[in-house]
Amino acid sequence: MIELKDLPDCPVETTLFLISDKWKVLIIRDLLNGTMRFGELKKSITGISQKVLTQHLRAMEESGLISRKVYAQVPPKVEYTLTETGMSLKPVLDAMWHWGLKYKSNNTDNRKTSKRD
Amino acid sequence: MIELKDLPDCPVETTLFLISDKWKVLIIRDLLNGTMRFGELKKSITGISQKVLTQHLRAMEESGLISRKVYAQVPPKVEYTLTETGMSLKPVLDAMWHWGLKYKSNNTDNRKTSKRD
DNA sequence: TTCTATAGTAACCTATATGAAACTATTGGA
DNA sequence: TCCAATAGTTTCATATAGGTTACTATAGAA
């Protein structure tokens, strides 16, 4: 379990400590829409390898962002769900969503009105 | 200059494309309080090396997040300031700030009420 | 009996990020 | 004359992240 003393003083850094990672943010983005199985995550997150996905899921479980539920069946079925803590990251992701949209639309506008290329 | 076609479809990924990086976020955190000189940033961001700071500042200039102003004097004086685009990341950083605070306080509470260690 | 599906793990290799240290330019001051 | 100060750049070494492939378990279906 992560301990308080391991966390940076600055709250922004604390957040970065837990999710300053492209893959983790993308996992959260997907799980915000609900529980997913391992294979679904792998399909959904373009470019992630099985190893890296597993590593990040383990780390996020460790820091209390997601929970892992194993079904005792064959072939295996494992479901990942955001914990309340993980869910509470929604405002962060929302802010990123809005900013990303705006950045792209600004880029478009600049291109239209720009005098040089 | 970064072009629209280089950006991912998902707005969250677009944001990550530009700031999914601990150092960049910390630079933005500092510059949200106003213009800073190179040396001030270096002092303020614990653990960053000169080389890495320079690299990230260059990249952020490239993506239009910050502007760089060189004063023609010796010893050199270079100031970095968030552009409007960079400034518009404040809601993202704010959300991270709040979340970081909450995560830490939850961690404290859990520790107090937890039955096992 | 052999294949399929799923969620991994393990070993090995490569790529990327970062760190450390030396070096640069230039002016004013001791 | 030589040093301090600032904002770098360059080179080389290392650390961390990620990629690839092979391997595992096991119930049920063909």
Judged by C1' against the alpha carbon of A21, the nearest nucleotide is: D17
Distance CA A99, CA A109 (A): 15
- Whether B27 and B43 have beta carbons less than 8 Å apart is answered as no
The reply to whether A76 has its C-beta less than 7 Å from any atom of strand D is yes
Residue nearest to nucleotide C7 (CA to C1'): A76
**Total domains present in chain A:** 1
Distance CA B64, CA B86 (A): 7
For residue B99, the chain A residues in CB contact (below 8 A) are: 11, 15, 88-89, 91-92
- Residue A81 is which amino acid? T
Mark the nucleotides of strand C covered by protein, meaning any atom under 7 Å from a CB. 4-11, 18-22, 25-28
How much is the pLDDT for B4? 86
pLDDT in tens, B105-117: 987 766 555 544 4
Tell me the residue range of the domain where B85 lies: 4-116
Q: How confident is the model at residue A3 (pLDDT cuts 50, 70, 90)?
A: confident
pLDDT in tens, A48-69: 999 999 999 999 999 999 999 9
- Residue A6 clears pLDDT 90, i.e. is over it: no
Distance CA A84, CA A86 (A): 5
How much is the pLDDT for A116? 45
- Residue A111 is which amino acid? R
How much is the pLDDT for B117? 47
Mark the nucleotides of strand D covered by protein, meaning any atom under 7 Å from a CB. 4-11, 18-22, 25-27
Which ranges constitute the DSSP H helices of B32-89? 38-44, 50-62, 84-87
Helix A22-31 × helix B11-19 angle, to 10°: 160
- Note whether A111 contacts B: Cβ–Cβ < 8 A: yes
CATH number at residue B13: 1.10.10.10
